[in-house]
Amino acid sequence: MKKLGLCLMVLLLAFVVMMPIGNAAPKVTLTIATVNNPDMVIMARLAPKFTEKTGIGLKFVTLPENELRQKVTEDVGLGGGQYDIVTIGTYDTPFWGANKWVDSLEPYFAKMSDREQKAYDRNDLIKPIRSALSYKGAQYALPFYGESSMLFYRTDLFKAAGLKMPEQPTWDQVYAFAKKLNNPAKGIYGIALRGLPGWGENMAVFGTVINTFGGRWFDMKWQAQFNTPEMRSAFEFYKKIITEAGEPGATTAGYTECLALFQNAKAAMWYDATVSAGTLMGKDSKVIGKTGYALAPIVKKSNAGWLWAWSLAIESSSRNKDAAFKFLTWATSKEYIKLVGETIGWAQVPPGTRESTYTNPKYLKAAPFAKRTIAAIKNADYDHPTVQDVPYVGIQYVSIPEFQNLGDQVAQQLAAYLSGKQDLDATLKQCQDVSNNVAKEGGYQK
């Protein structure tokens, strides 16, 4: 009986040792706050592969963009530690690093073995994106996907109407196309444009319109510039094109809603993030093979596209930082891009993060938008976003900590103007006043 018991114990031990890690209880579970964009949905779908490999469990808290920013900012500001990993952008990263809300990743990279560092290959990360996610030379976030902006258009509708889209159209040309193709009776709108208030919603798109129309938020002395002819023209044009040829109820339409309109063949054009190109190639899209790509529309400035990256960072109050770093480097690795390509489709891999993606024959074959995307990202003029000189950097935002609140307030004013609740004079005055107040209180105006 003793021998039999000993044999059973040996067999049981062997079974435990040989059990797949995926069947074991996670040794630690990471909570990840992220945005409800398609690429993040794919990340959550593939996350079990990471758990199988590492034994680290994952819990995703997926929120709309505006709500994500509010909840995550509250948590990191209070040091709540509700999240181990947070999804932040190029705007947030330098300030959050300075405030020590997120950890510098340099110590974690330093602990990697030579083999691990070579496999991750930091130098393969696209330089403008990598730099925008740094503070004082240190990396504080890793890009999950990077983007600029471009104009999507229905090639079938353009062909039927005898229209030809230039490689880089002007906004006047886009307006003329939208008017001609607008057909609400058949459920097709001339163009989809964000109107939902939020500095990362309607202001992301409208911010590039301001720049190319010759407008700017502040002059070199940090005096607000909403009372200028250029700014007035930008506001007037945006309302005109949306009212006359855009989707109804535009102030309820953010990124997700505009994506759905174009993806379901209900818009002839859509100006938004380059990252959307892969989503439009997904199995649920009704515009596969019917989508063309043009550079961001212009008026006075030749490179109007924005620069952005949704990125992953470790919250400073996390209790699972080493495990969190493992997830960051997995989700932003060449290995992950290959996993998405082979399981979801090469057209859906996270764009705009790695140089190697844009030399991969499989991706280039599957993604007709690839060259246009990388050109838009590298041409984005982050340091000189406007026609006239400005004391700030950032294209679709002003890179100051106060902009999150300022941008939201101006976004609300834009929405009130678009919906007809407020006239243009009142709108511009409100924007002028709040911008000057921010500049004074922030100590920018001397």
Model confidence pLDDT, tens digit, residues 113-154 = 999 999 999 999 998 899 889 999 999 999 999 999 999 999
Q: Mean of the pLDDT values across residues 331-355?
A: 96
Please report, rounded to a whole number, the percentage of residues in the chain having pLDDT higher than 90.
83
The number of beta carbons lying within 10 Å of the beta carbon of residue 248 is 10
- Cα separation of 426 and 270, whole Å? 29
Burial string for 166-186 (b: 16+ CB within 10 Å, else e) reads: eebbebebbbebbebbbeeee
Radius of gyration of the chain (CA): 24
Comparing 69-83, 199-213, 386-400, the range with the smallest average pLDDT is 69-83
Confidence of residue 179 (pLDDT cuts 50, 70, 90): very high
Where do the DSSP E strands lie in 169-253? none
> Which domains, from first to last, does the chain contain?
19-140+308-366 (3.40.190.10), 149-307+388-441 (3.40.190.10)
In this model, does residue 270 exceed pLDDT 90? Answer: yes
Say yes or no to pLDDT of 339 above 80. Answer: yes
**pLDDT interval class at 63 (50, 70, 90):** confident
What is the structure's pLDDT at 25? 58
Strands 142-147 and 149-154, by their bridges, are: unpaired
CA angle, 117 as apex, 112 and 121 as ends, to 5°? Answer: 150
Q: What is the pLDDT of residue 377?
A: 92
- Give the pair of three-digit tokens for residue 140: 């504080």
Total Cβ atoms within 10 A of residue 336? 21
Binned at pLDDT 50, 70 and 90, residue 378 comes out as confident
